A and B are shown apart, each in its own frame.
Chain A
Amino acid sequence: MTTKHDDLRQLKDQSQYDFTTTYEYAHRSRKGIGADIVREISALKDEPPWMLDFRLRALDIFFKKPLPTWGPDLSSLDFEEFYYYLRPTKSKARSWDDVPEEIKDTFEKLGIPEAERKFLAGVETQLDSEAVYGSLKKEWESQGIIFVDMDTAVQEYPELVRAHIGRVVPIADNKFSALNSAFWSGGSFVYVPPGVQVDIPLQAYFRINSQSLGQFERTIIIADEGSSVHYIEGCTAPQYSTAALHTGVIEIFVEKGAHARYSTIQNWSRNVYNLVTQRAVVDADGSMEWVDANLGSGITMKYPAVILKGPRAHGEVLSIAFAGAGQHYDAGAKALHLAPHTTSIINSKSISKDTGRSGYRGLVKVAKGAYGVKSKVECDALLLDPGSRSDTYPYIDVHEDDVQIEHEASVSKINEEQLFYLMSRGLSAEQAAVMIVNGFLEPFIKELPMEYAVELNRLVALQMEGSVG
């Protein structure tokens, strides 16, 4: 059977060929996995003993945990084949000449300014907009907001980190959360004090440390009582990763009456396994929104979760996935209703083309005593050609009578009459298809900040290139 996995393997091999010989690191651990590497990372970061202890426990659990037996085929994933700690040189990560043509071409098509391209490709580890970031940073600090990378947080706010890490996503949650807990590097730490409203979205790539976009990012966000914050991770430009394994863990704490939104636009290069655990716990009257767009990577497994633990807490998961050749998304959402009158909305949209495969896997659970719960799940899939595939696996587990749960699912194809209508007005087949697809995604796109919406539209157009003849 020669399928997408072979393609994926080929891509991966090729990328390793391209990069490991030319890329220069300030530090790189040996290939493969082991306690020696965990100790090495912790020592290099000068971490307190409790952090090393956390990592070592996690490694132990990682070895004991089996791979998931459901979802995409991960049998070609060989943990000994990866590097678990790569620290780029400080000034210049790699030369522009080393960036693959494919990525440069994409930047070109996206019309990304030169300076930004270099940053995004990892050539520059610093944005030219540092001055802008600097003034924002001062304003945030004056309001008591903490927005630093996780390494800094461990050094400067050890008690806060220690009190929250592994609390929403336990080390032992799954094999990949354990892996991340052992080898995490980079990611953000955000704390918003009670009542503070952060007006401008906090964006991971404002931060100077390029490792925020790294391989095993670990992010903690705490929205204290009555505060509100929007965090945006990733960016629309393709992120070239030298490491083909990405397992992030995101933990969010939404305290009473607080509001948090976490937006991801994931566009990893297609050699990447993207296995992410992201979860939020929401207290009374709080609300959490995950907004999640997946366009890149080869295999993605990701199920943003909301744990609604306080009365009237609200959670939303809004996601889109666009699977092209060699891509398989197994994405979805989880809503756990643990308290009365909690509400959730899950809206998943997926597009598959060129044998791409995209699935929704979701869980809505209502615990005993959580009466008056309302939950609405809507999954829509659009298939662009006959070889593509979409699957839906909704799980509903209810232990209370007084609940309202709705589930709707639809699978559709690009409608010939719609294509003809648009083409009869002068739009090419491709423009017409892009327009229909963007229309399908519109309910999602309108939730994004303007500049991201524009970029996402362009990305969709790129993904659609050559898809209709």
Chain B
Amino acid sequence: MNTLEIRDLQVRVADEEETGILKGANLVIRAGEIHALMGPNGSGKSTLSYALMGHPRYVVTGGDILLNGESILGLAPDERARRGLFLAMQYPVAISGVTLYSFLRAAVSARRGYGQRAHESDGEHRRSPLIPGREFRQEVRAEMAKLEMDRTFLRRYLNEGFSGGEKKRAEILQLALLKPEFAILDETDSGLDIDALRIVAASVNRLQRELNMGLLIITHYQRILNYIHPDFVHIFYEGQIVKSDGAKLAKKLEAEGYDWVREQFV
């Protein structure tokens, strides 16, 4: 069975004095499971998501990350992505001059091994490093319709001038096209109004079922968990998981806030 395993993970941020943003995090996510990671601001939730994806600024100083039993610590972010890991980011960056269409097509082609196939086949009749345009357009349009995104988005520059909600939809569109085995959704609900949240959650739920995807939902608020129902909820505090339970833990946090966590685990 596919698993994403975080084993005693310790991380610090490069060029920063403070050591030990993550102080030994442990978590196992199996295919098909939905985990929610909740915690107050500054608890290290986003650090965990960046470290999982291999952001160069986040330096792993101890522990391990295993994807299907193999360590991915030595892999660059693109290799992790091609192996089926996905991170929907809290703050997706804008890239001027690169259309959403050309970006998506390149990313989907990379994930599905088009470049590689082109490389392996020899000489004269080189295969295109990109997925055929017609096939790709059909697929991307279908997914956009489900996310109620206008097609004209494809011609816009990546995340440039997108509203907060538009960025989040574009992140989920990428999730839908890249079809990962494990996805981390970092504060996906922030910036989404209630209608948009419902649409985004419906797509995430559908994809999760279709792909039997393992999900890690990182969130400050319980709201998104009304739409995407977690099997497990973990409380993250000061760089580690301090408490794990079923969905009811999220309700407790919603009702009582994080104060009791602070009191209990300081």
Contact = CB atoms under 8 A, between A and B. Distances in A.
Contacts of B86: 424
Which of B76, B78, B92, B111 gathers most chain A CB within 10 Å? Answer: B78
Contacts of B97: 438-443
A435 B102 CA distance: 9
Interface majority SS (helix, strand, loop, mixed), chain A: helix
Contacts of A420: 53, 55-56, 77
A438 B98 contact: yes
Most A-side CB within 10 Å, residue of B57, B81, B178: B81
Nearest to A417: B93
B255 to A, nearest CB: 35
Contacts of B126: 111
B98 A435 contact: yes
Contacts, number: 82
B76 A429 contact: yes
A117 B221 CA distance: 62
Interface string B108-147: 0011000100000000001000000000000000000000
A424 B77 contact: yes
A431 interface: yes
A436 B86 CA distance: 21
A288 B154 CA distance: 33
A423 B78 contact: yes
B98 A423 contact: no
A431 B110 contact: yes
Given A111-B126, A431-B110, A426 B78 contact: yes
Given A420-B55, A426-B81, A427-B110, A439 B174 contact: no
B163 interface: no
A425 B81 contact: yes
B29 interface: no
Contacts of A427: 78, 106-107, 110
B103 interface: yes
B157 A425 contact: no
B87 interface: yes
Interface of B: 53-57, 76-78, 80-82, 86-87, 89, 92-93, 95-98, 102-103, 106-107, 110-111, 115, 126, 157-158, 174, 178
Interface of A: 111, 415-418, 420-429, 431-432, 435-436, 438-443
Nearest 4 CB-CB pairs, A to B?
A439-B97, A442-B97, A426-B110, A425-B107
Given A421-B92, A435-B102, 4 more contacts: A425-B174, A427-B107, A440-B97, A442-B97
